[in-house]
């Protein structure tokens, strides 16, 4: 059983699309996605610097488009491949909806562009951010986050919880971190998945209301609680609501293990979830599909898993 995973904001890196646009099919698809986002994603993904693509309004469509490009390239290299399960971390859920067939690629990117702009606007109201808390006792870390007036916005499992709130709150928290905990600021420009994002929910919900949502063709997990969502309408509603609610990636991982996932491919811009999988998905072989050079290894993993399941 193989899972296809899509990363969230913070995974973006300068030049991440440069190797993909060398392929004519990927370049053509990217043109379509750029039109949907009303952005030049090829230019952003090849020439923009790290500070530019940190902008939420740019980072989110860029990340989701990258994941979609990587998945379609994997499909082309392994005809007939259908993942057993898909899940996306935070904004990666929009890519997962496209992979599961809930939304078309174009609609997924069109919606994530609205999401990115709305969340950027919400972030501009108050200077906010996010910091990863690595290590320590999970209960103690969560209690300390709440005591500091912050929100445990991402619970990633295996000793990683992301705190979110105002920059002032985060700075004070970092000065006196919980025992045995390292606090690492993240390259995001807002307190995502907290009440600070509440203004964006209605904006994105209105845009989502105009889209046709099909029921998932493959098992689709929700960030809310790690459960399978079988209704396309519900999946879309959950993704919208998730903007202002914590991501429970730890519960998604628990579901993957309970469902018997044996292998996972993380789509571009890959790396974060693959590294996390080494601790949160014991016994699962994970591969990062960052560039076209990684396709051979991803195809081998897909083919091997398919043979083992037959």
Other C-beta atoms within 10 Å of 15: how many?
Answer: 13
Respond yes or no: is residue 196 known to be catalytic.
no
Tell me how far apart the alpha carbons of residues 31 and 5 are, in angstroms, rounded to a whole number: 23
Provide the angle, in degrees to the nearest 10, between the axes of the packed helices 24-37 and 56-77.
Answer: 150
* DSSP 8-state assignment for residue 263: E
Q: What is the pLDDT of residue 309?
A: 56
Q: Could you give phi then psi for residue 141, rounded to 5 degrees?
A: -65, -45
Tell me how far apart the alpha carbons of residues 15 and 246 are, in angstroms, rounded to a whole number: 30
Fold of 125-185: Alpha-Beta Plaits (3.30.70)
Tell me how far apart the alpha carbons of residues 241 and 185 are, in angstroms, rounded to a whole number: 25
User: Are residues 226 and 251 in contact, defined by beta-carbon separation less than 8 angstroms?
Assistant: yes
Alpha-carbon distance values, 161 to 71, 138, 152, 239, 302 (Å)? 28, 8, 6, 20, 31
Task: Give the active site residue among 66, 67, 193, 222.
Answer: 193
Task: Give the active site residue among 26, 66, 67, 90.
Answer: 90
Alpha-carbon distance values, 234 to 109, 139, 151, 243 (Å)? 19, 31, 25, 15
Q: What is the mean pLDDT of each run of 10 residues along the chain (310 residues)?
A: 95 96 97 98 97 94 98 96 97 98 98 98 95 95 97 93 97 95 89 97 97 97 98 98 97 98 98 94 97 96 70
- The residue extents of the domains of the chain are 2-123+194-309, 125-185
Tell me how far apart the alpha carbons of residues 280 and 251 are, in angstroms, rounded to a whole number: 10
Tell me how far apart the alpha carbons of residues 103 and 12 are, in angstroms, rounded to a whole number: 23
Respond yes or no: is residue 47 known to be catalytic.
no
* Contacts of 233 by beta carbon, 8 Å cutoff, 6+ apart: 213
Specify the CATH class of 2-123+194-309 in words. alpha beta
Closest listed residue to residue 196, CA positions, set 150, 244, 146:
244
User: Are residues 233 and 214 in contact, defined by beta-carbon separation less than 8 angstroms?
Assistant: no
Tell me how far apart the alpha carbons of residues 37 and 53 are, in angstroms, rounded to a whole number: 15
Tell me how far apart the alpha carbons of residues 42 and 60 are, in angstroms, rounded to a whole number: 14
Q: What is the pLDDT of residue 310?
A: 45
**3-state secondary structure at position 8:** coil
Q: What is the pLDDT of residue 303?
A: 84
Written in H, E and C, the secondary structure of 150-173 is CEEEEECCCCEEEEEEEHHHHHHH
């Amino acid at each position: 059983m193989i899972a296809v995973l899509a990363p969230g904001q913070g995974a973006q890196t300068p030049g991440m699309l440069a190797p993909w646009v060398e392929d004519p099919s990927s370049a053509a698809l990217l043109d379509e996605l750029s039109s949907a986002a009303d952005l030049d994603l090829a230019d952003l993904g090849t020439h923009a610097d790290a500070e530019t693509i940190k902008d939420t309004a740019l980072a989110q469509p860029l990340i989701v488009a990258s994941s979609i490009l990587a998945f379609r390239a994997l499909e082309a290299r392994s005809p007939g491949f259908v993942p057993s399960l898909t899940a996306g971390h935070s904004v990666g859920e929009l890519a997962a909806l496209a992979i599961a067939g809930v939304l078309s690629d174009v609609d997924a990117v069109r919606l994530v562009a609205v999401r990115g702009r709305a969340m950027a606007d919400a972030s501009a109201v108050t200077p906010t951010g996010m910091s990863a808390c690595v290590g320590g006792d999970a209960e103690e870390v969560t209690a300390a986050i709440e005591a500091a007036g912050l929100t445990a916005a991402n619970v990633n499992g295996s000793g990683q919880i992301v705190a979110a709130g105002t920059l002032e709150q985060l700075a004070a928290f970092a000065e006196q971190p919980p025992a045995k905990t390292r606090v690492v600021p993240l390259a995001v420009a807002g307190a995502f998945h907290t009440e600070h994002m509440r203004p964006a929910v209605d904006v994105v919900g209105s845009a989502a209301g105009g889209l046709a949502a099909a029921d998932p063709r493959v098992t689709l997990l929700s960030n809310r609680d790690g459960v399978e969502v079988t209704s396309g309408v519900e999946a879309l509603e959950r993704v919208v609501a998730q903007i202002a609610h914590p991501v429970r990636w730890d519960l998604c991982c628990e579901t993957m293990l309970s469902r018997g996932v044996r292998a996972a491919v993380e789509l571009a811009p890959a790396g974060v979830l693959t590294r996390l999988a080494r601790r949160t998905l014991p016994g699962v072989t994970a591969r990062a599909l960052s560039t076209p050079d990684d396709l051979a290894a991803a195809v081998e993993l897909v083919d091997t898993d398919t043979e083992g399941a037959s």
